Amino acid sequence: MNANLIGALVGVVVAAADFALLRVLASRVELDETKRVLNITGLSQFVLLPIVGWFVAPLFAGE
């Protein structure tokens, strides 16, 4: 496994944890607009964090 793939996998794990926490937060909010924004933010993390991990992990690994 190269550093790019490891970084992307770490990004997915962090995104899943962030999504779970944002869902808990959204359940406690009363405004529908705020709930929608929190859910969209959580879902966007599944795209953004693996991409960032793909490019940043080799920098930390020294490749």
Question: Helices 3-28 & 32-61, crossing angle to 10 degrees?
Answer: 160
Q: What is the pLDDT of residue 9?
A: 96
The residue among 16, 36, 17 whose CA lies nearest residue 26 is 36
Where along the chain do its domains lie?
3-61
Q: How far apart are CA 58 and CA 63, in angstroms?
A: 5
Distance CA 16, CA 39 (A): 12
pLDDT of residue 19: 96
Task: Give the CA dihedral 40, 45, 47, 48, nearest 10 degrees.
Answer: 120
pLDDT in tens, the chain (63 residues): 899 999 999 999 999 999 999 999 999 999 999 999 999 999 999 999 999 999 999 999 887
| Close Cβ partners of 16 (under 8 Å, ≥ 6 residues apart) | 46
Give residue 62's pLDDT.
Answer: 85
pLDDT (0 to 100) of residue 1: 83
